[in-house]
């Protein structure tokens, strides 16, 4: 680890951070008496208003890795990164709110795996619960590792101290206030990110001469890299051909792989986000949760992608196509160079470098606190999802049934401690064995890709059986692994990037391979689930009421004011998103 920090903080920055810590711990302290039952602890007593659950829904996903990663992608791919929002999130968020929330909330399931138990059977639930639990621990660990590394590089903080202190603070407020504490801190973090990054974008845009200045400067970078001049500033124009755009994907793979399979798989089935909607105080509030979340999500590209794009063209070195972004260093401390002889940039530093270069002390404290807050609330989000799935779907259904509610509340607290301890362990594993983490993330991608097929068939086709769902999920995961093993992104060596079975096809980029792997997994899961379902005995209709579309009464919207109706809200969000795509076409 490098010992010379990029910037030194002053007293005022530490004061800002300290104020934030006091408020975070204070919220947990004030909530401590409210956590009387397991429903309070795991589902906030289902009592939160939709704007709170909506902002938490979006913040649980807006971890610091997202802020840093989307800034990095902004520098790498330009405005096309907005596809991860306008294609890869909004449609799925509208869908889960309008069509799937009636089953999640209406079935009274306390978690996503529990819905699978109600709709299918115990084995499908357990498969989903165990893979989800392992995944949340590791993603929490990976994000802790990223935080420790970033703050070490940027500020010279000790890795151990940043990981352990943030883990201790998260532990304290989740133990005290359960899911409510986590959700309140997510709402807090949402506003911190907005207030920490809006002035960054404003200053950055001023520095490059507004949008026109940014277009002109990024045009030079694109031309220098052999791409059309508007490759970084138009989202769709160069999407016809994977070789013509910096993303390296063609539109069909993008829309089907990212926009349909991966996005619906995440937003519609991941308990981390769905749990926030389940904490809402009514069915309408639960349905409006993802729709309300979609409004800021639609606008986030301007907050998190633009800083990365600006970082690429700001400062003395902007002619060289490097901007503020430092080179990636090898273990020996020398800049890394790729096969074409170009310096490899450390894109993850794009957004942090913007903070450091444009903010004076004071405002810098606010920007870094926002980053710290999103790291911590990301961790808290994972931990609250983990303790619920562990307690309800693994402990209560396999280890100890029929105990008192007080016992499960105690178990939830114990699982919080255990989950955080395991995440800290995972953070150190991530530091010591980078390859293991790459491999694990690959396995998670295989497990996640087919999920939406199982849920969609389960909710909308009553003939789907438990055996069909279970075998289909496994087949989809295997399908993903086989496809990945038979293909390779251009220029990558055979190994963790694919091609370990044989190389039948070479994709123009890793993203293109990821998107197509997801498509293959999804199709495999659909076909196998249908075939096995047709060959096995379906459950009688009476058992499926409230769990399947055809056997569930539509929630009435008539008593609501028109602006509060989920359908109106969903349609408005889709129209605005389409308009944004059109403006940046």
* Residue in 368, 240, 354, 292 with CA at minimum distance from that of residue 59: 292
- CB nearer other proteins, residue 29 or residue 236: 29
- CB nearer other proteins, residue 355 or residue 422: 355
Q: Does 558 bind other proteins (CB under 8 A)?
A: no
SS3 509: coil
- CB nearer other proteins, residue 247 or residue 358: 358
Q: How far is the CB of 275 from other proteins (least distance, A)?
A: 15
Cβ-Cβ contacts under 8 Å for 47 (sequence gap 6 or more): 279, 281
SS3 271: helix
Residues 185-204 touching other proteins, rule: CB under 8 A, are 187-188, 191, 195, 199, 203
Q: Does 19 bind other proteins (CB under 8 A)?
A: yes
Beta bridge partners of 337: 343
Q: Does 34 bind other proteins (CB under 8 A)?
A: yes
Task: Provide DSSP, 543-555.
Answer: GGTTTSGGGSPPP
Q: Does 15 bind other proteins (CB under 8 A)?
A: yes
Between CA 113 and CA 122 the distance in angstroms is 9
* Residue in 318, 321, 308 with CA at minimum distance from that of residue 221: 321
In the set 1, 2, 14, 108, which binds other proteins (CB under 8 A)? 108
Q: How far is the CB of 403 from other proteins (least distance, A)?
A: 6
Q: Does 403 bind other proteins (CB under 8 A)?
A: yes
Tracing tokens 């935080």 back to the chain, one arrives at 147
Q: Both tokens of residue 512?
A: 């293109």
Q: Does 47 bind other proteins (CB under 8 A)?
A: yes
In the set 1, 2, 14, 49, which binds other proteins (CB under 8 A)? 49
Q: Which stretch binds other proteins (CB under 8 A): 92-100, 304-312, 404-412, 496-504?
A: 404-412
Q: What is the CA 81 to chain-centroid distance, rounded?
A: 14
Q: How far is the CB of 135 from other proteins (least distance, A)?
A: 25
Task: Provide DSSP, 373-416.
Answer: HHHHHHHHHHHHHHHHIIIIIIIIIII--S--HHHHHHHHHHHH
Residues 343-382 touching other proteins, rule: CB under 8 A, are 357-363, 366
Q: Does 39 bind other proteins (CB under 8 A)?
A: yes
- CB nearer other proteins, residue 11 or residue 334: 11
Q: How far is the CB of 49 from other proteins (least distance, A)?
A: 8
Q: How far is the CB of 246 from other proteins (least distance, A)?
A: 28
Q: Does 92 bind other proteins (CB under 8 A)?
A: no
Q: Does 52 bind other proteins (CB under 8 A)?
A: yes
Q: How far is the CB of 198 from other proteins (least distance, A)?
A: 8
Q: Which stretch binds other proteins (CB under 8 A): 74-82, 253-261, 280-288, 528-536?
A: 280-288
H-state helical runs in 32-158: 38-43, 50-61, 64-77, 83-86, 90-95, 101-106, 112-119, 122-155
Name the pairing type of β-strands 487-489 and 505-507: parallel
Tracing tokens 């790459």 back to the chain, one arrives at 438
CA–CA distance from 478 to each of 126, 322, 358, 445, 505 (Å)? 18, 41, 48, 11, 18
- Residue 424 CB-half CA count within 13 A: 18
Pair 465, 498: CB distance under 8 Å: no
- CB nearer other proteins, residue 45 or residue 321: 45
Q: How far is the CB of 110 from other proteins (least distance, A)?
A: 8
- CB nearer other proteins, residue 183 or residue 247: 183
- Catalog residues that contact other proteins under the rule CB under 8 A: 12, 15-16, 19-20, 23, 26-27, 30-31, 33-34, 36-37, 39-40, 44-49, 52, 105, 108, 110, 180, 184, 187-188, 191, 195, 199, 203, 206-207, 281-283, 357-363, 366, 396, 401-405, 408
């Amino acid at each position: 680890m490098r010992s010379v920090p990029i910037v030194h903080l002053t007293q005022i920055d530490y004061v800002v951070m300290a104020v934030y810590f006091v408020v975070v711990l204070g919220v947990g302290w004030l909530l401590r008496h409210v956590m009387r039952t397991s429903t309070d602890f795991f589902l906030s007593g289902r009592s939160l208003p939709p704007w709170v659950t909506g902002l938490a829904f979006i913040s649980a996903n807006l971890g610091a890795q997202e802020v840093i990663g989307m800034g990095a992608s902004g520098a790498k791919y330009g405005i096309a990164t907005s596809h991860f929002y306008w294609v890869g999130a909004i449609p799925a968020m509208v869908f889960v709110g309008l069509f799937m929330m009636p089953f999640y909330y209406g079935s009274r399931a306390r978690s996503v795996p529990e819905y699978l138990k109600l709709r299918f059977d115990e084995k499908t639930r357990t498969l989903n619960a165990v893979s989800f639990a392992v995944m949340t621990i590791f993603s929490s660990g990976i994000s802790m590792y990223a935080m420790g590394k970033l703050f070490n590089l940027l500020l010279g903080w000790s890795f151990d101290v940043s990981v352990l202190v943030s883990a201790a603070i998260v532990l304290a407020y989740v133990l005290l206030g359960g899911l409510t504490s986590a959700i309140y801190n997510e709402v807090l973090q949402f506003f911190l990110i907005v207030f920490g990054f809006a002035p960054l974008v404003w200053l950055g845009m001023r520095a490059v001469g507004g949008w026109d200045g940014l277009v002109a400067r990024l045009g030079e970078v694109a031309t220098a890299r052999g791409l059309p001049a508007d490759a970084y500033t138009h989202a769709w124009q160069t999407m016809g051909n994977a070789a013509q755009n910096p993303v390296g994907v063609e539109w069909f793979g993008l829309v089907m792989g990212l926009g349909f399979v991966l996005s619906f798989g995440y937003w519609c089935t991941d308990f981390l986000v769905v749990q926030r909607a389940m904490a809402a105080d009514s069915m309408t509030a639960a349905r409006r949760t993802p729709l309300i979340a979609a409004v800021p999500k639609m606008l986030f590209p301007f907050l998190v992608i633009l800083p990365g794009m600006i970082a690429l063209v700001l400062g003395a070195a902007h002619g060289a196509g490097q901007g503020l972004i430092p080179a990636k260093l090898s273990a020996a401390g020398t800049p890394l160079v790729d096969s074409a002889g170009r310096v490899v940039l450390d894109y993850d530093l794009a957004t942090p470098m913007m903070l450091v270069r444009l903010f004076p002390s004071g405002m810098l404290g606010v920007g870094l606190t926002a980053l710290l807050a999103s790291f911590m609330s990301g961790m808290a989000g994972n931990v609250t999802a983990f303790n619920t799935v562990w307690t309800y779907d693994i402990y209560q259904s396999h280890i100890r049934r029929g105990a008192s509610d007080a016992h499960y509340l105690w178990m939830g607290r114990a699982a919080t401690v255990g989950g955080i301890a395991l995440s800290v362990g995972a953070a150190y594993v991530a530091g010591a064995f980078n390859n293991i983490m790459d491999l694990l993330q690959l396995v998670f991608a295989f497990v996640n890709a087919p999920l939406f097929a199982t849920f969609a068939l389960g909710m909308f086709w009553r003939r789907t059986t438990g055996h069909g769902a279970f075998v289909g999920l496994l087949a989809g995961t295997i399908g993903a692994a086989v496809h990945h093993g038979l293909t390779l992104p251009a220029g990558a060596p055979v190994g963790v990037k694919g091609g370990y079975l044989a190389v039948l096809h070479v994709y123009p980029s890793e993203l293109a391979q990821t998107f197509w792997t997801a498509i293959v997994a999804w199709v495999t899961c659909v076909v196998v689930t249908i075939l096995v379902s047709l060959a096995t005995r379906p459950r009688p209709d009476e058992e499926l009421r409230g769990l399947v579309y055809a056997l569930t009464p539509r929630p009435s919207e008539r008593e609501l004011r028109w602006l509060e109706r989920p359908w109106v809200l969903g349609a408005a969000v889709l129209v605005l998103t389409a308009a944004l795509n059109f403006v940046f076409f």
